[in-house]
Amino acid sequence: MELTTIWFTLIAVLWIGYFTLEGFDFGVGMLLPFLAKDDTERRVMINTIGPVWDGNEVWLLVAGGATFAAFPEWYATLFSGFYLPLLLILVALIVRGVAFEYRAKRDDDQWRGRWDAAIVVGSFLPALLWGVAFANILHGVPIDADKEYAGGFFNLLNPYALLGGVTTLLLFLAHGALFVSLKTDGAIRHRARARAVPLLVAAAAAGVAFLAWTQADTGTATSAVAFVLAALALVGALFSARAGREGRAFAGTFAGIGIAVAGLFLALFPDVMPTTLAGGVDLTTTNAASTAYTLKLMTVFAVVFTPLVLAYQGWTYWVFRKRISVDHIPSTTSSAPAPTATTAP
């Protein structure tokens, strides 16, 4: 297998990890005002992702760095053409991270309310815009003969891309609701279970429509298999959620999102960013790649450090695997540690 294909596969794996893990983070953030009735319950919800949300974002950083190093032409065209939506995603992620840390800095309901709103918005925008961005990559954008983006912002807001955004938004909401039901106990758990079923119905409907459109537009035989498996995983998650099997339901959305993202990369390969212009140039794993020496050097580092990162993140999830409830939250905010500890502020 060529190194370009290996690195295309590794980048796909990084995006699978990001969407499956950060996806439920976004869902929890968006559901904050709908599942929690008071500040104590909001602290419980934030606590479910407190130890892991920043680690989940590492998958995005590594995916971006790997794209920059392995496929610089892809990186340059992507970030120049998608500058505004990617900037909005970056700002949203920054504000969201600051909100987690600062909501407990003052014992004031209005202060915490503003930061909670920042968490909701900071989770909503990436959940929507990542789907829009990936749908445009799959569908193709105007790239000229110089490998430069030749369109505008509104070229990205086509019906297919908007459906992609709605799909990721609904999938992350359902994924987050199931994560809350799996990680909490008491009233929050019951509310999350009740919300998860209708969200799964909507997410499955949008997901099937988007994957079917993708398959008809750019799909291959291998992507078709992946899309069918993803759809079956989401249907299985729905039946498990209705039966009250939270672990199986969460595993279903986890598998459904991961397999769907894998199918999208299978549908894209060997392109990395196709063009819609008649005289334009498709960016592929060949013409957008770095030199062979660079890819070899990157492969050595990946072989050494990737297992270490996976082991550390797996250990983190194991340590913080237990359910939490309002009984675990201190009664005063002055004694509450930052959200990267076992209790949220």
Q: CB-based contacts of 236: which residues, under 8 Å, 6+ apart?
A: 248, 252
Residue in 173, 178, 175, 187 with CA at minimum distance from that of residue 245 = 178
What pLDDT sits at residue 277? Answer: 87
Residue 281 has pLDDT above 70, yes or no: yes
pLDDT band with cut points at 50, 70 and 90 for residue 104:
confident
What pLDDT sits at residue 88? Answer: 95
List, for residues 293-331, the tens digit of each pLDDT value.
Answer: 999 999 999 999 888 888 988 998 999 889 998 887 776
What pLDDT sits at residue 108? Answer: 85
What pLDDT sits at residue 329? Answer: 79
What pLDDT sits at residue 336? Answer: 41
What pLDDT sits at residue 337? Answer: 44
CA atoms within 13 Å, Cβ hemisphere of 324? 24
* Domain limits, the chain: 3-335
SS3 of residue 59 by DSSP:
helix
List, for residues 115-174, the tens digit of each pLDDT value.
Answer: 999 999 999 999 999 999 999 999 989 898 888 888 888 888 999 999 999 999 999 999
What pLDDT sits at residue 345? Answer: 40
- Asked whether the CA dihedral 4, 289, 11, 207 is positive or negative, the reply is negative
- The burial class, CB within 10 Å (0-12 / 13-18 / 19+), for 68 is middle
Residue 5 has pLDDT above 50, yes or no: yes
Average pLDDT of the residues of the chain: 90
What pLDDT sits at residue 149? Answer: 85
Integer distance in angstroms from the first to the last C-alpha of the chain? 49
Residue in 24, 20, 23 with CA at minimum distance from that of residue 177 = 24
Q: CB-based contacts of 191: which residues, under 8 Å, 6+ apart?
A: 34, 35
List, for residues 17-66, the tens digit of each pLDDT value.
Answer: 999 999 999 999 999 999 999 999 999 999 999 889 988 999 999 999 99
CA distance 339 to 46: 7
CA atoms within 13 Å, Cβ hemisphere of 24? 32
Measured in whole angstroms, the distance separating CA 309 from the mean position of its chain's CA atoms is 18
